[in-house]
Amino acid sequence: MPKLSFISLCMVLKSYNSSINGYFSKFKKLQAYKKKVEIEAKSNNLIGTSVGNYRQIEDNFSISLSHKIQATASLIFKKALIKVREDVPEAKFILPMPDAAFYQINITMIMMK
């Protein structure tokens, strides 16, 4: 990859940023929801999921929507892990990953059910 001058790099980043903003500007409801979430965060300096999991926020309110989405996804994933433990007790939890889980299951035990 060729080396870019600082000015060239800034121009490339500006172009990417413009493309990204143009793409997301198509989602009018998303933009309105993002503003709503940011206003809520500014008014009480908190951001969280619909069931809690609040985080105090004081200055960078632009992360509000991202935090709300990621915190909600984390709760959904944790509930899924618990459900697997309850519904498939023979599943051996091998490897946790940020957005997946790797289990080992003896197929003969499943077939005998």
- The confidence band for 63, taking pLDDT boundaries of 50, 70 and 90, is confident
Q: Answer whether 43's CB lies under 8 Å from 23's CB.
A: no
Supply the pTM of this predicted model: 0.66
Given the DSSP bridges, would you call strands 52-56 and 46-49 parallel, antiparallel or unpaired? Answer: antiparallel
- For 15-62, write each residue's pLDDT tens digit: 777 777 778 778 889 889 999 999 999 998 998 888 877 888 888 888
The residue ranges of every structural domain in the chain are: 6-87
How big, in percent rounded to 5, are the helix, strand and coil portions of the chain?
A: 60, 20, 20
**Residue whose C-alpha is closest to residue 74's, from 47, 55, 95, 53:** 53
- As a whole number of Å, the end-to-end CA separation of the chain is 56
Gap between the Cα atoms of 77 and 97, Å rounded:
11
pLDDT category at 94 given cuts 50, 70, 90 is very high
- How many whole angstroms separate alpha carbon 21 and alpha carbon 13? 12
CA angle 42, 44, 49 (to 5 degrees): 90
Q: Is 105 left (phi over 0), alpha (psi -120 to 50) or beta?
A: beta
Give the model's pLDDT for residue 2. 60
